[in-house]
Amino acid sequence: MSFINYSSREINCKIVFYGPGLCGKTTNLQWIYKKTNPDSKGKMISLATETERTLFFDFLPLALGEIRGFKTRFHLYTVPGQVFYDASRKLILKGVDGVVFVADSQIERMEANIESVENLRINLAEQGYDLDKVPYVIQYNKRDLPNVVPLEEMRRALNPRGVPDYEACATDGTGVFDTLKAIAKLVIMELKKGQEGG
Amino acid sequence: MIVPCECGAKLKINEAKLGGAGVKVRCPRCGNVVPVQRPSAETGKRAEQHRAVSTVPSGPVVLVAHDSEMVRDTITSVLQDAGFRVDTAADGVEALQKATENKPGALVLDVGLPGIYGFELCERLKGNQETGHIKIILLSSVYDMRRYKRTPVNLYGADDYIEKHHIPDFLPSKLKKLLFPDQFSSSAETKASDAGKSELPEMARPPAREFQPSLLSERSIQDDTAAFQAMAAKMPGGHTSGNPSVHESPAVLPESFSLEASIFQKEECDIPKVEAADPAAVEKARRFARIIVSDIALYNQEAVVEGLRKGTLYELLKADIQEGRDIYDKRVPEVIRGQKDYYQEAFDNFVHAAEKKIVR
């Protein structure tokens, strides 16, 4: 749920990058961090192991325009992807406003993608969210690799509802900002809907 | 007695079944291991003394910032017993305000704080001349110490880091070391011990064994498990065989399992009921086993190559393989596990395929 700070006139939204281990969630955030105007971003925080794998989460505050005089500040998080880290994933999903599912396009990780989407749905549901109602986009990452699953097959397996989806190669930035813009747009639309309703 | 777990569960412990050295119980909700010790008369007396000290106006104030009231209360109690005065904040905004206005000696800061995130707040305070001196210990919400035995490489300005399940044992000593570094040099310790004066660091419990990442090594877990098993064996109705699941400690009263609603209530140990012949359930178990193996291999690529070349794969990845086994057992219904060991099958298939790729 977005956090509104009336004194500083800021709306803070939380976007979580979800996906199986080593699918490129941190790489997405690193690219966004690298390519964002220094005035618009906070420092990227990454709690990683000595082998550079995300231990707890990555965190990146990002300013993206205004809504009715309130600055919107997006807090981007990643989750640890390995199956072992479920408790941390649940914790990081607390208060989420939008989710980006980063899928690993490699054939050998398709099962991990499917498991991860199912895990996302379950973990959201435990907190009263419905994946079909939360702002949600999908990114098919690592499209530059030779052993990738065809796009249509990935869509069938991971995106039956037809949410916005993007092909990406996070290491060179392809598709990274398209994905971010899409989720930011959905979150802002949801915020505006909330304002109009209330 | 009631022992709170960091996840909010209240564990009812049967004191009559506590040994002298205490016992470790696993929280049935979050899986954390919670050390439990019998409150002795001496401990009670000491706690009284410490509470008295906590009202001394000159004692250092520790600001505890956490969104869970239960966790705040637990930490407050631990710190007051150790002689600290404690103030609390429920979110990042309140923590920032109190830290800026009151300038506490130290701040115990949860990384997952709502409002302003812990890391961000830490950087703001450390970057501000007026608050930069406040000692900050980051609190991590960690649930499985074996997975988190690695220490973070960067604390983002914080002075120290602690995992929640280590709070009772290590937080007071960590704070004392930060707030009274002089008292903790070896000569100072000797001097303080000789003098027996009642300054804060000496008033508190003897410094607990300092937390080091190595304390969470596989060896220490095995030692803890062995100690627990030895303890459990001496207790009436205690059992020591099989998986070292500490929550089976006879000291945990059955009421502990009736927990209040929380996001952690449906932990991964919440196994769905399935029919043995359900082919979908079997396939799901097999898939889950393959994913565990795939994750282990992906995160240990060098060890896999070395292990396959030297025939030491199972030895090199012993801890990860056991963890994989634990999570498989937690998530896959017994009726499916009983049919065939799909986890082992997944490993065998992986090794067979990987040997072809790697060894040749």
pLDDT value at residue A38: 73
pLDDT reported for residue A55: 47
Alpha-carbon distance A127 to nearest alpha carbon in chain B (angstroms): 6
**Which of A95, A108, A115 has the CB atom closest to B114's CB atom?**
A95
- Minimum Cα–Cα distance from A95: chain B residue: B114
Distances (CA, A) of B159 to A63, B155, B165, B266: 29, 7, 19, 35
Instruction: Please name the residue of chain B whose CA is at the shortest distance from the CA of residue A110.
Output: B291
Whole-number pLDDT of residue A28:
93
* CATH superfamily, with its number, for domain A3-197: P-loop containing nucleotide triphosphate hydrolases (3.40.50.300)
- B115 Cβ under 8 Å from any chain A Cβ: yes
Model confidence pTM above 0.90:
no
pLDDT tens for B235-250 read 333 333 333 333 333 3
pLDDT tens per residue across span B263-291: 222 333 344 566 666 788 889 899 999 99
Distance CA A176, CA A29 (A): 9
CA B190 to chain centre: 31
With CB atoms and an 8 Å threshold, state whether A127 touches B263: yes
* B154/A46 touch (CB, cutoff 8 Å), yes or no: yes
Residue B114 has pLDDT above 70, yes or no: yes
- Beta B2-4 vs A165-167: how paired, if at all? unpaired
Do the Cβ atoms of B66 and B94 come closer than 8 Å? no
Residue identified by tokens 């199986």 is A20
Burial of B45-83, coded b for 16+ CB within 10 Å and e otherwise, reads ebbeebeebbeeeebbbbbbbbbbeebbebbbebbbbbb
Q: Which of A13, A41, A53, A82 to mutate to test the interface with B (most CBs of B within 10 A)?
A: A82
The pLDDT, as a whole number, for residue B49 is 45
- In 3D, which of A5, A159, A129, A164 has the Cα closest to residue A75? A5
The answer to whether A171 faces chain B, any CB pair under 8 Å, is no
Pick the more confident residue, B120 or B331: B331
pLDDT tens-digit series, residues B26-67: 776 666 777 777 665 555 454 444 444 344 446 789 999 988
Residues B309-346: tens digit of each pLDDT: 888 988 999 988 998 999 899 889 888 998 899 999 99
Per-residue model confidence (pLDDT) at position B120: 77
The pLDDT assigned to A47 comes to: 61
Which of chain B's residues have a Cβ under 8 Å away from the Cβ of A82?
295, 299
Where do the domains of chain A lie? Answer: 3-197
* Domains of chain B by residue range: 54-194, 271-357
Across the interface, whether the CB atoms of B294 and A91 are under 8 A apart is answered: no
Pairing of strands A54-67, A70-78: antiparallel
For residue A97, which residues of chain B lie inside 8 Å, CB to CB?
none
In this structure, the dihedral spanned by the alpha carbons of residues B101, B106, B112 and B115, taken in order and rounded to 10 degrees, is: 0
Residue A195: pLDDT band with limits 50, 70, 90? low
Residue found by looking up tokens 């989806």 in the block: A165
A-contacting residues of B 80-99, CB under 8 Å?
Answer: 93
Higher-scoring residue by pLDDT: A51, A38: A38
Interchain contact, B292 vs A88, CB within 8 Å:
no
How is residue A71 written in tokens? 């600055």
Q: Look at A45 and B93 and tell me if their CB atoms are within 8 Å.
A: no
Which pLDDT does position A1 carry in this prediction? 57
Q: Does A189 touch chain B (CB under 8 A)?
A: no
**Long-range contacts of the stretch B236-242 (C-beta < 8 A, 24+):** B236/B17
The neighbour count for residue B350, using CB atoms within 10 Å, is 18
A61 DSSP assignment: E
Nearest CA in chain A to B31: A87
Residue, of B17 and B189, whose pLDDT is higher: B17
pLDDT (mean) for B158-182: 83
pLDDT-wise least confident of B93-107, B111-125, B216-230: B216-230
All residues of chain A having their beta carbon less than 8 Å from the beta carbon of residue B140 are 47, 56
**CB < 8 Å & 24+ apart, contacts of B196-201:** B198/B53, B200/B53, B200/B59, B200/B60, B200/B83, B200/B84, B200/B176, B201/B176
Cα distance from B331 to chain A (closest Cα, Å)?
Answer: 11
Stronger pLDDT, B7 or B135, i.e. the higher one: B135
End-to-end CA distance of chain B: 61
What mean pLDDT do residues A47-70 have? Answer: 59
The answer to whether residues A123 and A18 touch, using CB atoms and an 8 Å cutoff, is: no
Task: Choose among B150, B267, B323: nearest Cβ to A49.
Answer: B150
Task: Give me the pLDDT at residue B8, please.
Answer: 56
Confidence of residue B354 (pLDDT cuts 50, 70, 90): confident
CB of A22 within 8 Å of a chain B CB? The answer is: yes
Residue holding tokens 């639309």? A189
What mean pLDDT, rounded, does chain A reach? Answer: 83
| Nearest chain B Cα distance for residue A49, angstroms | 6
List C-alpha distances in Å: A23 to A26, A27, A80, A107: 9, 9, 10, 12
3-class DSSP state of B317 = coil
Among chain A residues, the shortest Cα distance to B32 is held by: A87
Any chain B CB within 8 A of the CB of A91? yes
Is the pLDDT at B213 greater than 70? The verdict is no
pLDDT of residue A111: 92
Kindly tell me if the per-residue pLDDT of B22 is higher than 90: no
Inter-chain residue contact B295 with A55, CB threshold 8 Å? no
The position carrying tokens 């001097």 is B191
**pLDDT 10s digits, B296-309:** 988 888 888 899 88
Average pLDDT rounded to a whole number, residues A1-29: 82
Looking at the DSSP bridge assignments, the partners of residue B140 are B163
pLDDT band at B23 (very low <50, low <70, confident <90, very high): confident
Phi-psi region of A73 (alpha: psi -120 to 50; beta: other; left: phi over 0): beta
Predicted complex ipTM exceeds 0.90: no
**Is pLDDT above 90 for B200?**
no
pLDDT at B12 over 70: no
Q: Do B291 and A94 touch (CB under 8 A)?
A: no
Token readout for B110 is 């949860």
What is the per-residue pLDDT across A101-124, written as a single tens digit (0 to 9) for each? 999 999 989 999 999 999 999 999
CATH architecture of B54-194: 3-Layer(aba) Sandwich (3.40)
The mean pLDDT value for B187-205 works out to: 37
- pLDDT of B66-95, one tens digit each? 888 888 988 998 898 888 999 999 988 899
Chain B residue with minimal CA distance to A58?
A: B119
pLDDT at B228 over 90: no
CB contact under 8 A, B119 and A21: no
pLDDT score at B329 = 92
What pLDDT score does A107 carry?
A: 92
Task: List, in sequence order, every residue forming a beta bridge with A140; answer none if it has no partner.
Answer: A103, A167
Residue B230, H or E segment: helix B218-234
pLDDT of residue A99: 97
Note whether A87 contacts B140, CB cutoff 8 Å. no
Q: How far apart are CA B308 and CA B290, in angstroms?
A: 18
Across the interface, of B123, B140, B295, the residue whose CB is closest to A82 is: B295
- pLDDT tens profile A134-163: 999 999 999 999 889 999 999 999 999 999
Nearest CA in chain B to A81: B295
